[in-house]
Structure 1
Amino acid sequence: MNRGIVLAILSIGTLMAAVDTTIVLLALPSMTISLHTDLYHTIWVLLVYLLVLSVLSTQSGRIGDIVGRSKVYNLGFVIFTLSSLMCGLSSDVYELIAFRFTQAIGGAFLTANSYAIIADYFPPNERGRAYGITSVGWNVGALVGIVLGGVLTTFLGWQYIFFINVPIGAVAVVLGVKNLKDVNTHKSSLDISGTVLLGTSLTLISVGSILIASNGVTMPEVAAILLGIAFLPAFIYNEMKVKNPVINVSLFKEKLLSFSLAASFLQGIGGLSITFLLIMYLQGVRGLSPLDSSLLLTPGYVVASVLAPFMGRFADKGKPGAVAGVGLLFIFASLMIYYFALTPTTPFPEILGITVITGIGSSMFWPSNAAAVMFNAPKQYYGSVSGVSRTLGSIGTALSYVLSITVATLAIPRYVAFEIFLGTNVLDGSVDSTFVNGLHFAFLVSAVIILAASIFSVMGGGTKKETRKNEITVKDRE
């Protein structure tokens, strides 16, 4: 099997998922006008995608363990591509949200199994480079989504941000069916009760958090979050009793795996909030258009894309946890610079330089963290662990959005924060300083989270000195 082709197929899938995360953001104002709705409805075009990824990624990875990761991955391409077509053809916001829901199902199948397929095809000492190459797909996709979203929406219409997926997906489906074959499958049954419990818990927590960001703290939202948390002990108890659990909880006795997953989750919250906060600053305080804001953020994505494969090679030398931890320190440094130096009149070249620092950190973290996670996962749970990693990352993304909007509303009305986030409003100069001070607090909170993630990454260890090898199996409970 040509590993280069495998990497290309996985990178295309990652690129498509990344494009559709960022490309929608810049198109939301146009969608709102075209579909004759309001921002509070349109924002769910973005949020439903993140929500479904959060809920389904773990289960999608487990399905890949059972029926074959390549089969599930290729099915994900088909669902994603067809749903993209239907998104572009939607005539009202409810249709669009519904097809974004199905598109996210395909995205979950893709993202939850990509790490596991690499682990199937590549030995541990070559995975860092492979994860680095696929992370180029993520960074290029995010870059293409940000810039292309503005261009397509401006000159052709928001529908084309979805239509662009169709030819890419069609080619990917053909290549995937021809070249991806199942390497490791494990016959077992699907844990339906665990799937329902985990899905219910994540849905309640995610929806409650998002609604708090949208509407403020009210009893129904708080109750939803508390109820979601209450489901977690029942889920864990279920997983300890069933024969073939969605998540084998004994995996988390492996401290190195748990530390690496914790780092991924915390980076999702603290790292991704940088983008949300900067968009609000550039559009709300500096008055830039969504397209101009995206162009200013581009250098960081370019740096991350170029450096990621090389950083992955460093991770392959045996210390992926350390490489990921150092990368997070770069991100921490960029956040502290924003905290101390960002003002309503900070020169754009300085902001551009800080994005480069963030890009260097991202290029070090993503391939190294993926290598650390999958090295410490047993073969028969590659898909499940890959899904858990993606689930934690998706929840982190949703929480980063909640953090950004919530902190912004400490200084300005909630509806104004929404409009700034979407690029449809610019702050009056009299409140610029107050709003930027609020952003300072958000950057500081994010920096603390990233510092904790860095500590967990370093504790995640390496690949050479561990006596435990990834080929071991977890003893099944009879």
Structure 2
Amino acid sequence: MAGVLMTAIDTTIVVLALPEIERSLHVALSAVVWVIISFLLVITLLATQVGRLGDMFGRVRMYESGFAVFVVGSLLCALAWDEASIIAFRVVQGIGGALIMANSGAVIADLYPRERRGRAYGLTAVGWTVGAVIGVVLGGLIVTYISWRWIFWINVPPGVLAIAAALRVLRDHGDRVRRRLDLPGMITLGLGLFGVLWAMTKLANEPLDASTVGFLVAGVLLIVVFVLIETRAAEPMLPLSLFRVPTMAASLLAALFQGLANFAVLFLLLMYLQGPRGLSPIHASLLLVPGYVAGAAVGPPAGWLADRRGPVLPATLGLAIQVAVLLCYAQLTLSTPLWLIVLISLVNGIGTSCFFPANSAAVMKAAPPDMFGIASGILRTFSNIGMVFSFAVAILVASRSISRGLAFAIFVGTARLHGQLADAFTTGLHAAFYAFVSFMAIAAVLSGLRARGIRRPGKPLARGPVEASPSPAGHRPRSAGRRIRASRS
């Protein structure tokens, strides 16, 4: 919970500080979004690889190392002096975040029996929502009254305490497994995602030109090369064999589309509240707190429900709630009562907390025990790919109604709108929310389709050939168990 809380604080608190970082370090407007994207992109690329390190050298050891790297990265970010340094130090933070987030799910899977993992992931959802609340409130207060550098300084004391607590109470229980890192796959995926993201962020504030097209085409081609590499690699970054496990593909794709549809909602709301509605960062952030509080309250019961009734019901219900929320956000106008926005965000927090613990439990229950680290990392990779592109899609779609440069400035909080421009920009936000409705609906359909592959608790497994993939619950026929024990030997 401490690890998830820290990464949640860092994800939300930096959003409110973007305008101050831009002014203080003289960061170019087109580059300031990379303060956020660089952090998410590093976690996306490293999640599966550091998950392998956890399988090889101990998940708890890698988890504790993540805290140390994250604290060092936070110190460096607080001392940054220009555009290049802040982005580079955010990469260091991202490495620590990847070690924490990829191994936290595997540590829980090691410590808790499968019938209690939903409740455990529900408690970590509390850590995420509490961290998001702290990030939103502290971010508004620090940016308004102190200095943006303190958004990084405040990570240091709790990080040191978390390291001390982890060293005292956590012990490795999983078996060590020899693995190899997939460096060609990681490099090609990283360059591919970078090329596509670079093109999308350029399109958000500049007209289309040859260099933008070149980055986009090269990025797509490198992603295709990545897929080809993964089909031939001995130990791929993205093991395609996992997708033959029942429900695994649907669970991972549901996480991707949910991240694509949901992550940028915070940014769109801040654009709306600070742009057309003219609120200050602290007032805008305080309006969103009730939604995170509601999410914290719902997380544990949702995890308990996933343990008792299976993950399909709470996960799909959560996604359906988020579809309705996005439709409500798409109706916002310049005269919408602020209390109604608070109410909608509260319902959104409930839907989000219904989905995350149930979906995490579904992935980790389906994964073979000797691949907990890889499965946890892949889940984080899919979710983060959605989150990274959510950020880019939001600004692209929302900027279609006014000039790209002005929309980009509003997006990072350096400009406000009034009159006809405010009304036009709100219309652009509607288009972005409607786009996210379609993505969230896809996630809900994928989640619902898992009902055929996930057995209900207490229902005996159907017998099949020993060569079949592991069951969703993580059990294996006896002959399969003998093969796994032999391979570990």
* Coarse TM-score class (shorter-chain normalised): over 0.9
Q: Which residue number in structure 2 is paired with residue 58 of structure 1?
A: 48
Deviations 1:64-103 (Å, cap 9, x if unpaired)? 2222211111111100001101111122232221111111
Q: How many Å apart are 1:396 and its aligned residue?
A: 1.2
Superposition deviation, residue 285 in structure 1: 0.8
Offset from partner CA, 1:233-290 (integer Å, 9 cap, x none): 4434433433333232111122401001111000001112322221111111100111
Seen in structure 2, the aligned counterparts of structure 1 residues 41 and 206 have a Cα distance that, compared at 3 Å, is closer
> Do structure 1's residue 211 and structure 2's residue 215 form an aligned pair?
no
Change (3 A) 1:44 1:177: same
Pair 106,266 (structure 1): closer, same or farther in 2 beyond 3 Å: same
* Residue pairs, 1:13-92, within 5 angstroms: 13-92=3-82
Which of 294, 297, 313 is matched with 1:303 structurally? Answer: 294
AA matched with 2:379? S
Q: CA deviation at 1:161?
A: 0.6
Question: What's 1:443 paired with?
Answer: 433
Are the aligned partners of 1:73 and 1:110 in contact in 2 as well (CA < 8 Å)? yes
- State the Cα distance separating 1:383 from its structure 2 match: 1.2
Letter in 2 for 1:421: F
Return the match for 1:252 from 240, 243, 252.
243
Alpha carbons of structure 1 residues 199 and 180: separation in structure 2 relative to 1, 3 Å: farther
Q: 1:273 aligns with which of 250, 256, 264?
A: 264
**Helix, strand or coil: the match of 2:309?**
coil
Select between 457-466 and 379-388 the one with higher mean Cα deviation: 457-466
* Residues 90-109 of structure 1 mapped to structure 2, 5 A cutoff: 90-109=80-99
Which residue of 1 is the match for residue 274 of structure 2?
Answer: 283
Give CA-to-partner distance per residue, 1:287-343, whole Å, 9 cap, x none.
01111111111111110011111111001113212210111111111111222x321
Give the residue type in structure 1 aligned to 2:474. N
Q: 2:394 aligns with which of 387, 404, 426?
A: 404
1:161 to 151, 161, 165: 151
Question: More deviation in 368-377 or 171-180?
Answer: 171-180
Q: Secondary structure at the match of 1:412?
A: coil
Evaluate the alpha carbon distance shift between residue 232 and residue 336 of structure 1 in structure 2; reply closer, same or farther with a 3 A threshold. Answer: same
Q: CA RMSD in A?
A: 2.0
Distance 1:217 1:15, change over 3 A: farther
SS in 1 for 2:247: helix
Quote the residue 2:321 is aligned against: 330
> What residue number does 1:370 align with?
360
Code of the aligned partner of 2:442: A
1:345 pairs with 2:335: yes
1:471 offset after TM fit, Å? 4.1
In structure 2, C-alpha distance between the alignment counterparts of 1:160 and 1:414, rounded to whole Å? 31
Choose the corresponding residue for 1:118, options 91, 103, 108. 108
Rounded to whole Å, the distance in 2 between the matches of 1:430 and 1:201 is: 39
What CA deviation, in whole Å up to 9, does each residue of 1:327-383 have, x standing for no partner?
1111111111222x3211100111111111111101101111111111111112211
Answer yes or no: is 1:142 the counterpart of 2:162: no
CA distance in 2, matches of 1:37, 1:450: 34
Partner of residue 241, structure 1: 232
In 2: Cα distance, 1:42 partner to 1:198 partner: 23
Cα distance 1:180–1:172, how it changes in 2: closer, same or farther (>3 A)? same
Q: Hey, what does 2:120 align to over in structure 1? A: 130
> Shift in Å at residue 154 of structure 1?
2.2
Mapped to 2, the partners of 1:408 and 1:279 lie a distance apart of 13
Paired residue for 2:170?
180
**Distance in 2 between the 1:235 and 1:33 partners?**
38
Extract unaligned runs of 5+ from structure 2. 463-470
Distance 2:222 2:30 in 1: 28
CA gap of 1:29–1:236, structure 2 versus 1, over 3 A, is closer
Cα offset, 1:188, TM superposition? 2.7
CA distance in 1, matches of 2:353, 2:73: 31
Question: Which 10-residue stretch deviates more, 244-253 or 342-351?
Answer: 244-253
Name the stretch that deviates more: 22-31 or 455-464. 455-464
1:129: how far off?
0.8
Deviations 1:400-450 (A, max 9, x none): 111211112111111211221222221121122222222222111111111
> 1:394 and 2:384 equivalent?
yes
Whole-angstrom CA distance in 1 between matches of 2:46 and 2:279: 36
| Percent identity over paired residues | 40
Q: Which deviates more, 205-214 or 132-141?
A: 205-214
SS at match of 1:460: helix
Partner of residue 470 from structure 1, selected from 470, 474, 477: 474
Question: Is the Cα contact below 8 Å between 1:334 and 1:354 reproduced in 2?
Answer: yes
CA change 1:215–1:126 in 2 (3 A) is farther
1:359 aligns with one of 336, 349, 353: 349
Q: Which residue of 192, 203, 207 corresponds with 1:201?
A: 192
1:264 and 2:255 matched: yes
Within 2, Cα distance between the matches of 1:226 and 1:386? Answer: 31
**Comparing 159-168 with 116-125, which one deviates more in the overlay?**
116-125
Structure 1 residue 216, shift from structure 2 partner? 4.8
CA distance in 2: counterparts of 1:369 and 1:120, whole angstroms: 17
Partner of 1:4: none
- Unmatched tracts of structure 1, length 5 or more: 1-10
What is residue 180 of structure 2 aligned with on the other side?
189
